[in-house]
Amino acid sequence: MIPITVLFINSCKKYISPNPLSTFSPEITFGSVTLARTAVMGAYNSLTGDYGYGIRISMYYPYDSDEMMGAGGNTQDNDRRDISRYNLTSNNAQLQPIMAQSYQGIERSNLCIYYIPRMSQYTSGTTMEQGELKRLYGESLTLRAQYYFELIRNWGDVPAQWTPSQFQTNLFLPKTDRDTIYNHILNDLLIAENLVPWRTDVGTVGDPVDQRITKGTVKALRARIALFRGGYSLRAKSGVMERGSDYLTYYKIAFSECSDLLARRDEHTLDPSYKAVWQTYICGHNGNDPSGEIMFQVAMGGATSTSDSKLGTYNGTKFGTVGGGSLAIMPTYFYMFDSTDVRRDVTCVPFETNTDYVTRKGHSINAIVDGKWRKEWLTNPAFPANPTSPSNLGLNWVIQRFSDVLLMYAEADNEINGAPSAADIAAVKEVSTRAHSGNASLVPPIPNDYTGFFKYIVRERMLEFGSEAVRKYDLIRWNLLTAAINETKANLANMGAATPMAMNPPSYMAPPPAYCISANLPKTMYYNADFKGDDSYWSPANGAGAGKGLWANSLYQPAPAKAPVDLTIPGNTTTLTTKVSWLGYSGINTSFTTIFAYAFKTNHSELLPYYSQTLINNPAFGGNNYGY
């Protein structure tokens, strides 16, 4: 009788425990190297899409700054515009989903961090398996660091959770001081550095070359985070922007990491062409630049709102009838570049292009858009020929490039030693030389005193990283955002009025050449609508007044009294009627001056508020700070 009973009970147990077929338990997922890899891909996936770097973090959050402005119009929309204008309340619905997705990425990383080192293959697998699992573990640590870093950049103190939620006895976590989190992730990255291979070594663990995290990524990210840890941030306790007295400790970490990277130029170095980074690799849907300049990028595709990006559709130039252009280049930024700096024409696009790729239409000075994700540059595939408006173009977001390493190296060393070394100057010069088509003689003179060098870097980073979501956060860690916004506002007003000077030289960074800010700048720009070519501009070499590029007159000289002749068609003598307003244009006021960062308040706007529902759902979170 008893055996029958036992049998009966066992078969009952079996009957009510069928195998759940469509979901994998962690035991299955972390049972093989192949599936463990998919779990890490899942952790990467939270970087992508509308609530990741697809649009919100990359294009809503980093503005307004002295380089660019978020979605235009003077609408108070309790949405993306209010983020850019610093007119934020805790009820802005664009806050919660981004924070939620970042924590989703943290949880997915936490699961990998928990399970991967516990896999039997981690310690007793083949060399290849162990190598791959170490890489996966290191990647997970790095991803978690990136998610926390982005949270801290935007919100300051946030709850910190280091184990998967299923093992968490209390889900209602209070905020953790950002320094504690920073220290934790800096330490994690130190561990991760020794787990992941260099870019050229991924084959040793059986991996193809792709956009996954490598040793260079970890080191560069650690340097960046260290600079933020040592930089200024808005503190809840004091209510003001401040930095710790031990900040140099962290500059030293950044310097050390950058030094390591500079010693391995075989792994990561500058691509010879600034333009190629964007045109050939990013817009060419080619993730593998041979130089390894792109050290960390978010790989997006699949045309879904959870895996792709809206890069090039939300921002960027108009192509055919299809818009974009939600982000605006500040006219003041346009004139921060010297006339020979190739980064100006990669970053700033004052025109739109017809679908024939040749007919162009110049834009007024208040309608310059960013151009690194440029529809007409797209290849593999090209931008669709149909007059259609795809939401997603499969474009990747760039988190970090090698030029950042060079500039961080110089900045950290200058800070640590109180003056730049020859190596620091060389590093900055390398970045600027590339930006001047490799012609070092065109690089503006680099000061060798502490302050001058620092200000030079403040400008150089602005010129190098336009529209890469670097600027606002740099200004915050330097505690220069207030100055930058105020001076930009004043200069915008000057430009709108065109008197007496186009711009005052900025106090917080090195000024551009005098010809960029003089009252001589043109009030009208003529352009050749059927100019056939890429995006070359008027230059003195082509002859004044007789444009062979898009523009028919100089960007730095007063417009000619008489309209120039369209010389794109040989023998043509008709004068150009295609022209746009430039300096002194009232559009500068309506587009920028009256609305640019209008609600910015020092010691308030440097961080975002927590969303009201986030606080309601977690009473332990605590309330909002910083006057929100």
Partner 1 sequence: MKKNLLLMMLVLAILFVKAQAQTRQISGTVIDKSTKDPLVSAAVTVKGTSTGTQTDINGKFKLTVPDKPESVLVFHSVGYKNREEPLVTSTSFKISMESDSRQLDEVVAIGYASVRRSELPGAVSSITNKDLKDVPTNSLAEALEGRLAGVQITVSEGAPGAPADINIRGRNSITQSGSPLFIVDGIQVDNALSVISPQDIATIDVLKDAASTAIYGSRGSNGVILITTKGGRNTNGKITVNYNAFVGVSKLAKELSVMNPYQYIMAMYDRYKLTGDSSIIDRYTRAGYNFDTIKTYQGQPGIDWQNVMFGRKAVQQTQNLSLSGGTEKTQFNLSVTDNGQQGILLGSDYNRQLLNFRFNQQVNERLSAGFNVRYSQQVIDGSGTSDVGGSGTNNLRQIVRYPPFLTSGLSESDFDPALYASNPGNGLTLVNPLQLLPATYRQNKANTTDINGNITYNIVKNVTFRSTIGYDIYNTVARAYNDTLNADAQTNLLMPTATLTTGQVTTFDNSNTIDYNNPAFLHSKGSFDFLAGQEFYQTDTKSNYISLRYFPVGLTPDEAFANLGLASAPPGYTEPTPTSSEVPVHTLSFFSRANYTYNERYILSLTVRADGSSIFGPDRKWGYFPSASAAWRIIQEDFMKNQNVFSELKLRFTYGSSGNNRITPYSYDPAYSTGKNYYLNNAGALGLAPGSTLNNPDLQWETLKSKNLGLDMGFLKGRIQLTVDAYDNVTTKLLINNTIPLNTGYSTQFQNVGSTGNKGLEFTLQANIIQSRNFSWNSSFNISFNKNTILSLGDQTQFSANSGWYSSSNGPADYIVKVGQEVGTMYGLVNDGYYKPSDFYTAPYTDRNNPWATTQYLGLKPGVPTSSISSTTIQPGTQKFKDLNHDGKIDVNDETVIGQALPKFVGGLNQTFRYKNFDMSVFLNFDYGNQVYNDNKLEFTSEYENGANLLSIFNNRWVVSDPNTGQYLQRVLTNPTTVIGVSPAQLNAVNGNAKYWIPVTGIEYTYPQSFAVENGSFIRINNISIGYTFPKVLLGKLSLTNFRIYVTGNNLGTITGYSGYDPEVSTRRNTTLTPGVDYSAYPKSRTFITGVNVSF
Site for partner 1 in 66-125 (CB under 8 A): 74-79, 89, 91, 93, 96-97, 99-100, 103-108, 110-111
Considering only 243, 285, 429, 604, the residue that binds partner 1 (CB under 8 A) is: 285
Nearest distance from C-beta of residue 416 to partner 1, angstroms = 36
Residues paired with 526 in a beta bridge? 579
Q: What does each C-alpha distance from 627 to 32, 345, 490, 597 come to in angstroms?
A: 50, 40, 26, 17
Closer CB to partner 1, residue 324 or residue 466? 324
Nearest distance from C-beta of residue 145 to partner 1, angstroms = 16
Closer CB to partner 1, residue 58 or residue 568? 58
Binding positions for partner 1, 316-375, rule CB under 8 A:
323
As to burial, measured by CB atoms within 10 angstroms (0-12 exposed, 13-18 middle, 19+ buried), residue 374 is buried
Spatial separation of the C-alpha atoms in residues 512 and 335, rounded to whole Å: 7
Closer CB to partner 1, residue 3 or residue 208? 208
Q: What does each C-alpha distance from 410 to 118, 270, 426, 457 come to in angstroms?
A: 41, 16, 9, 8
Nearest distance from C-beta of residue 413 to partner 1, angstroms = 35
Closer CB to partner 1, residue 35 or residue 546? 35
Considering only 62, 70, 138, 159, the residue that binds partner 1 (CB under 8 A) is: 159
575 contributes a contact to partner 1 by CB under 8 A? no
203 contributes a contact to partner 1 by CB under 8 A? no
Considering only 2, 15, 441, 573, the residue that binds partner 1 (CB under 8 A) is: 15
Nearest distance from C-beta of residue 82 to partner 1, angstroms = 10
Residues paired with 296 in a beta bridge? 400
Binding positions for partner 1, 23-52, rule CB under 8 A:
23-26, 28-29, 35, 38-39, 41-46, 48
Nearest to 257 by CA among 217, 293, 297: 217
User: Total binding residues for partner 1 by CB under 8 A?
Assistant: 97
Instruction: Let me know: does 135 contact 193? Beta carbons within 8 Å.
Output: no
390 contributes a contact to partner 1 by CB under 8 A? yes
Instruction: Let me know: does 374 contact 317? Beta carbons within 8 Å.
Output: yes
Residues in the chain: 628
Q: What does each C-alpha distance from 162 to 110, 112, 587 come to in angstroms?
A: 6, 11, 50
244 contributes a contact to partner 1 by CB under 8 A? no
Nearest distance from C-beta of residue 118 to partner 1, angstroms = 14
Mention every residue, 6+ apart, whose C-beta is less than 8 A from residue 354.
320, 360, 361
Stretch that binds partner 1, among 130-138, 183-191, 384-392, 509-517 (CB under 8 A): 384-392
Task: Please give the structure tokens belonging to residue 585.
Answer: 């244009």
Considering only 10, 165, 451, 504, the residue that binds partner 1 (CB under 8 A) is: 165
Nearest distance from C-beta of residue 490 to partner 1, angstroms = 17
Task: Please give the structure tokens belonging to residue 576.
Answer: 């150009």
Task: Please give the structure tokens belonging to residue 355.
Answer: 């679908």
Nearest distance from C-beta of residue 512 to partner 1, angstroms = 27
Provide the 8-state DSSP code for 567. Answer: -
Spatial separation of the C-alpha atoms in residues 319 and 587, rounded to whole Å: 22
**Where do we find the tokens 């190297």?**
33
Closer CB to partner 1, residue 32 or residue 539? 32
Helix or strand (DSSP H, E) at 524: strand 524-526
Considering only 304, 437, 539, 602, the residue that binds partner 1 (CB under 8 A) is: 304
Nearest distance from C-beta of residue 594 to partner 1, angstroms = 5
Instruction: Let me know: does 543 contact 534? Beta carbons within 8 Å.
Output: no
